[in-house]
């Protein structure tokens, strides 16, 4: 394998990123133009926070560039062992199933049971391919946490996709956290890095159309794809990753994971608590997310996106810093970092209790 410091391959990776961003912009632009030629009745159109219907094709570009990233790696970094090993094949199967299920849901509005079944299969694929979270001495508990992580994150990312640019931007931050973790570990260029760079490029290109006021949504195909992809990245680079010194501490791994994923975790937790208190199902859509309440509090949609990006960046940087710069993890560090997570969660939850809904006309 070739090291990240190699100048030639740095140029190659820079070119790869630039090409994939341009391709994402081009593909999404073509899909947007295609959607307009289909007439007013289009199965791939959705209503989110805005009152207007918009195309929901974004996930197609995500998956396409994901596949092209694999092709790029095969051509420039020939390593058949990495492509054919059990862990990657299980991850690839899960990501593909998540994308296809989301695509079907965008087109045909599939039943919740079918969505959960596919999500469960994605979790099973993680377990059977040894993409398992290993922080407890009991394997059964590790398997349960892995299922919960995969299924929970697929639903969490889907629920977070409720306002322009939120899910796209937060996903970019999470991927950047994984890339930073990759760099700290001094790992040679491998398939994981190429996939991360490819997906980040796809998201940046899509953000051109998804930033407020958006012209396109990612749809369930995008949110389900990202849910599985980010779940796999989380297992590899946060749950199971030793720090810079090769040390592993279960409590530190847990805290780092929840910090990096603080925005989707906080939003899902807050919405679930509030809906259950009202006797409603957490899985029924509504304008009661943390993002919506920030809008009710007086922020514009763009300001809400900036706030969520800032929260995600702060928590991610803290998580990566403590993971790679602190040795001899102890209770004090756990309290401080756990307190930061509690502060973010508590603040977002308090916003939903204080601000009053003011539905848009």
How much is the pLDDT for 132?
96
76 φ, ψ (degrees, to nearest 5): -95, -20
Could you write out the DSSP letters of every residue in 144-172? HHHHHHHHHHHHHHHHH-SSTTHHHHHHH
Asked whether residue 334 is domain-assigned, the answer is: yes
Count of domains forming the chain: 1
Q: What is the largest CA-CA distance in the chain?
A: 62
Asked whether residue 191 is domain-assigned, the answer is: yes
Asked whether residue 360 is domain-assigned, the answer is: no
Q: How would you write the pLDDT of the chain (361 residues) with one tens digit per residue?
A: 444 456 677 788 889 999 999 999 999 999 988 876 654 335 555 555 555 677 888 999 999 999 999 999 988 887 767 777 899 999 999 999 999 999 999 888 888 889 999 999 999 999 999 999 999 999 999 999 999 999 999 999 999 998 999 999 999 999 999 999 888 877 778 899 999 999 999 999 999 999 999 999 999 999 999 999 999 999 999 999 887 777 888 999 999 999 999 999 999 999 999 999 988 888 777 888 999 999 999 999 999 999 999 999 999 999 999 988 888 888 999 999 999 999 999 999 999 999 877 654 4
Asked if residue 91 lies in contact with residue 126, where contact means CB atoms within 8 angstroms, the answer is yes
Asked whether residue 167 is domain-assigned, the answer is: yes
Structure tokens at 184: 């700290």
Residue 45: beta bridge partners? 55
Structure tokens at 346: 């508590």
Domain containing 330 equals 12-354
Distance CA 242, CA 35 (A): 46
Cβ burial, residue 208 (10 Å; 0-12/13-18/19+): middle
How much is the pLDDT for 361?
43
Asked whether residue 359 is domain-assigned, the answer is: no
Asked whether residue 5 is domain-assigned, the answer is: no
Residue 243 — left, alpha, or beta (φ > 0 → left; ψ -120 to 50 → alpha)? beta
The number of helix segments (H) and strand segments (E) in the chain equals 14, 2
Asked whether residue 361 is domain-assigned, the answer is: no
Buried b (16+ CB within 10 A) or exposed e, 316-344: bbbbbebbbebeebeeebbeebbebbeeb
Q: What share of the chain is helix, strand, coil (3-state, %, to 5)?
A: 70, 0, 25
H helix intervals, 51-165: 58-76, 80-84, 86-108, 112-128, 139-160
Asked whether residue 131 is domain-assigned, the answer is: yes
Structure tokens at 360: 């848009």
Distance CA 34, CA 4 (A): 39
């Amino acid at each position: 394998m070739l090291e990240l410091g190699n100048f030639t391959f740095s140029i190659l990776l820079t070119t790869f990123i630039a090409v994939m961003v341009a391709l994402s912009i081009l593909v999404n632009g073509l899909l947007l133009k295609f959607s307009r030629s289909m007439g007013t009745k289009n199965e791939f159109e959705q209503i989110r926070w805005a009152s207007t219907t918009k195309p929901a094709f974004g996930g197609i570009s995500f998956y396409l560039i994901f596949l092209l990233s694999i092709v790029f790696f095969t051509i420039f970094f020939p390593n058949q062992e990495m492509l054919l090993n059990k862990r990657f094949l299980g991850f690839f199967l899960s990501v593909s199933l998540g994308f296809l299920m989301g695509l079907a849901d965008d087109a045909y509005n599939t039943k919740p049971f079918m969505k959960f079944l596919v999500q469960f299969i994605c979790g099973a694929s993680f377990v059977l391919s040894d993409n398992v979270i290993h922080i407890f001495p009991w394997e059964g508990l590790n398997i349960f946490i892995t299922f919960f992580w995969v299924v929970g994150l697929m639903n969490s990312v889907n629920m977070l996709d409720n306002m322009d640019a939120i899910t796209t931007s937060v996903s970019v931050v999470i991927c950047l956290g994984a890339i930073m973790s990759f760099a700290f570990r001094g790992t040679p260029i491998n398939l994981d890095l190429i996939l991360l760079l490819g997906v980040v490029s796809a998201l940046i290109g899509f953000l051109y159309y998804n930033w407020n006021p958006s012209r396109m949504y990612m749809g369930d195909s995008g949110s389900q794809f990202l849910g599985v992809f980010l779940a796999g990245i989380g297992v590899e680079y946060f749950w199971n990753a030793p720090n810079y010194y090769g040390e592993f501490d279960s409590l530190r791994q847990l805290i780092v994971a929840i910090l990096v994923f603080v925005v989707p975790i906080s939003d899902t937790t807050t919405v679930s608590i509030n809906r259950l208190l009202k006797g409603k199902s957490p899985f029924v859509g509504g304008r009661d997310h943390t993002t919506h309440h920030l809008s009710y509090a007086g922020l514009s949609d763009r300001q809400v996106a900036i706030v969520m990006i800032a929260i995600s960046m702060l928590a991610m940087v803290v998580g990566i810093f403590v993971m790679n710069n602190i040795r001899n993890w102890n209770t004090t560090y756990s309290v401080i970092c756990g307190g930061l997570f509690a502060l973010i969660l508590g603040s977002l939850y308090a916003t939903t209790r204080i601000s009053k809904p003011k539905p848009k006309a």
